[in-house]
Amino acid sequence: MSESRYVMGIRAQAIVVFLTLLVASSAHAEESPALVSQVRTQFQKKNAKVEDVTLLELVPVYGRSLRYLVLAHGIRQDVKFEGSFEEELFGLFVVDQSFTKILATVDIFPTERWNDYSVQIKKPIFPSIVLVCQGTTYGDVNRVRRYSVEVIHGKPTPALAPKSKLQ
């Protein structure tokens, strides 16, 4: 009986260490001006007016090397809608474990509801990465965007189903 308690204690400690490292890594990335700057540069290739960048989610992906999926949001600095949804963008990126280099830009796409749209990573596991997108206030404009996990390790593939409806 004591052995099983010992094993359970070791497992609990391992989980605590893992969660601590995950939170510490996420905090480091959010504080990384270099990463935010690189994401801004990628957004500005699509629209030069995008200035304010926020890192929304960081998801570790284990494989040949530790990498992270980064979901980011960018919007024009004055947050004023002037007729173009392209002035508010969401992007999915693959970054290295030090959060200093974007290894791949998976996708960059515009909002469908100005300053009222949420995007979340739902399934970063084989065989696809799934983003769930919807209007924040009313839960409308539901979309699911799917990408092959091959993009994580440098095999570029187009979005599998960028505008399919939520089910």
Return per-residue pLDDT of the chain as tens, 167 residues: 455 655 455 454 434 334 334 444 444 455 689 999 999 999 999 999 999 999 999 999 887 788 999 999 999 999 999 889 999 999 999 999 999 999 999 999 999 999 999 999 987 566 789 999 999 998 888 899 999 888 877 665 444 444 444 43
C-alpha to C-alpha distance for 56 and 141, rounded to whole angstroms? 20
Domain count for the chain, please give it.
1
In a domain, 15, yes or no: no
In a domain, 160, yes or no: no
In a domain, 121, yes or no: no
In a domain, 126, yes or no: no
164 alpha-carbon distance from chain centroid? 19
Domain region containing 85: 32-112
Task: Supply the pLDDT for residue 30.
Answer: 57
Q: Is the dihedral of CA 48, 54, 56, 57 positive or negative?
A: positive
Task: Supply the pLDDT for residue 38.
Answer: 97
* Burial of 127: CB neighbours in 10 Å, binned 0-12, 13-18, 19+: exposed
In a domain, 85, yes or no: yes
pTM: 0.75
C-alpha to C-alpha distance for 156 and 123, rounded to whole angstroms? 18
Task: Supply the pLDDT for residue 126.
Answer: 66
